[in-house]
Chain A
Amino acid sequence: GNSVTQMEGPVTLSEEAFLTINCTYTATGYPSLFWYVQYPGEGLQLLLKATKADDKGSNKGFEATYRKETTSFHLEKGSVQVSDSAVYFCALTLNSGGYQKVTFGIGTKLQVIP
């Protein structure tokens, strides 16, 4: 079956530190990969996505590259801010004629301290 494995948190960083949140996946077929973010008290927001191997998704200073050879989609940001404190979910979908079922990782809580 399909699954997503991501590092468990919480991850605590000082402001302006470099962030990496690891994510690896197992899938039958060729998935699309996503990072979703959940800010405190809010819903899930799409942060970035990549739909094929070697694609790089980026948004708000975050980046992730679809690595088929290592089945990974690690999230990185060069300099985190306090406002980045949230839970980050790695996810995949396998498109089947328009219908997509998202498989989520467990989520990694990031806390950025001033």
Chain B
Amino acid sequence: EPEVTQTPSHQVTQMGQEVILRCVPISNHLYFYWYRQILGQKVEFLVSFYNNEISEKSEIFDDQFSVERPDGSNFTLKIRSTKLEDSAMYFCASSLGTGNSPLHFGNGTRLTVT
């Protein structure tokens, strides 16, 4: 069964550094998403992406965040200047976008900001 894959599985970075989290969605899916889960807390919506533009973003997704689909297969989340509070598990997801097709999630990237 096709999967959403995310790399790396764990990223450690220093405060103020830029990080890029990478995702390869399922190939025929049209909608792409990023969610995050701070340790022990709720899974929170960050952003959705369709037709090469952002469909919706949450309050969390401020100017420090950006998303891109650079080559038709990868879907990236960039954090320009990381803060300690950005430490979390980041999940990429994709969906077909037809009817009630569910989101398929990747295994996540654990980001640790020191």
Contacts and interface: CB of A to CB of B under 8 A. Distances in A.
Interface residues of A, number: 23
SS of A interface (majority)? strand
Given A43-B91, A45-B105, A95 B100 contact: yes
Contacts, number: 66
Given A99-B55, A101-B33, 4 more contacts: A49-B100, A93-B102, A104-B42, A106-B41
A107 B38 CA distance: 12
16 contacts: A34-B102, A36-B105, A43-B107, A43-B108, A44-B43, A46-B103, A51-B100, A93-B103, A98-B30, A98-B50, A99-B56, A100-B100, A101-B33, A103-B45, A106-B41, A107-B43
Contacts of A93: 100, 102-103
Given A98-B30, A99-B55, A43 B42 contact: no
Contacts of A99: 31, 48, 50, 55-56, 97
A32 interface: yes
Interface string A77-102: 00000000000010001010011111
Interface of B: 6, 30-31, 33, 35, 41-45, 48, 50, 55-56, 91, 93, 95-108
Given A44-B43, A100-B31, A101-B56, A32 B100 contact: yes
A78 to B, nearest CB: 24
A98 B108 CA distance: 24
B97 A98 contact: yes
B99 A95 contact: yes
Pick from A32, A43, A102 the residue with the most CB of B within 10 Å. A43
Contacts of A34: 102
Interface of A: 32, 34, 36, 42-46, 49, 51, 89, 93, 95, 98-107
A16 B97 CA distance: 38
